[in-house]
Amino acid sequence: MSETQDKLEQAIEEFTLSCAGYCVATYVLGIGDRHNNNIMIRETGQLFHIDFGHFLGNFKRKLGINRERVPFILTYDFVHVIQQGRTHNSEKFERFREYCERAYKILCRNGTLFVNLFAMMKAAGLPELTSFKDIQYLKDSLALGKSEEEALKNFKVKFNEALRESWKTKVNWMMHSLAKDNRP
């Protein structure tokens, strides 16, 4: 295998791992404003988000319409990279799904700690962390009070919804790009 091929394989692996972390983190934390201008990729393949102004389910609305229509961003473009350009590579995609599920279970096991840390930050004056309603978002996304099996079952539903409804993400990104391009 050539050095270029090795670097490509490593970049795809970095993308896959960071995409799993991104999907789980943005879902659990309720990160909003998840459009294509806020999602970056390093040359190494790592995917990351750059705007954390909207979180804990305080999603942006435009003309009364919620712009966040999926639990987290998982476009077919992302899946295409994870599957290394193949249309059917269930082994790679299933490994990605397992990464997501494993990360989610780890966060759930530590859910009480996360909730307590966010509750302590309530006094920090962050505009989207002012009430126990904001903390409740975190409790709900981590399925606190449910068994690990129930929590994981709920996450799997959200995962499948994010994938199935990814066309809504593409429409949102297109509308965002059009609106941005038409600003004076």
Q: What is the pLDDT of residues 72-130, one digit of tens each?
A: 889 888 999 999 887 776 899 999 999 999 999 999 999 999 999 999 999 898 888 99
55: left (phi over 0), alpha (psi -120 to 50) or beta: beta
pLDDT at 180: 61
Instruction: Say whether pTM exceeds 0.75.
Output: yes
Instruction: Say which residue, 94 or 175, is predicted with more confidence.
Output: 94
Would you say 170 and 78 are in contact if contact means Cβ atoms under 8 Å apart?
Answer: no
Q: Tell whether the model's pLDDT for residue 184 goes beyond 60.
A: no
Instruction: Say which residue, 41 or 87, is predicted with more confidence.
Output: 41
Exposed, middle or buried by CB within 10 Å (0-12, 13-18, 19+), for 78? Answer: buried
Structural tokens at position 151: 């929590």
**Per-residue confidence band for 166, with pLDDT thresholds at 50, 70 and 90:** low
Q: Tell whether the model's pLDDT for residue 19 goes beyond 90.
A: yes
**Per-residue confidence band for 66, with pLDDT thresholds at 50, 70 and 90:** low
Instruction: Tell me which CATH homologous superfamily contains domain 3-181.
Output: Phosphatidylinositol 3-/4-kinase, catalytic domain (1.10.1070.11)
Print burial letters for 132-160: b (CB count within 10 Å at least 16), e (below 16): eebbebbbebbbeeeeeeebbebbeebbe
Side-chain-side CA neighbours of residue 145 (13 Å): 6
- Name the residue ranges covered by the structural domains of the chain: 3-181
pLDDT at 57: 81
Instruction: Say which residue, 174 or 21, is predicted with more confidence.
Output: 21
Q: Which long-range contacts (CB under 8 A, 24 or more apart) does 169-172 make?
A: 169/34, 169/69, 169/70, 169/73, 169/75, 170/75, 172/35, 172/67, 172/69
Read off the pLDDT of each residue in 41-53 and give the average, rounded to a whole number.
86
pLDDT at 110: 98
In DSSP notation, 35-68 reads -GGGEEE-TTS-EEE---SS-TT---EETTEES-
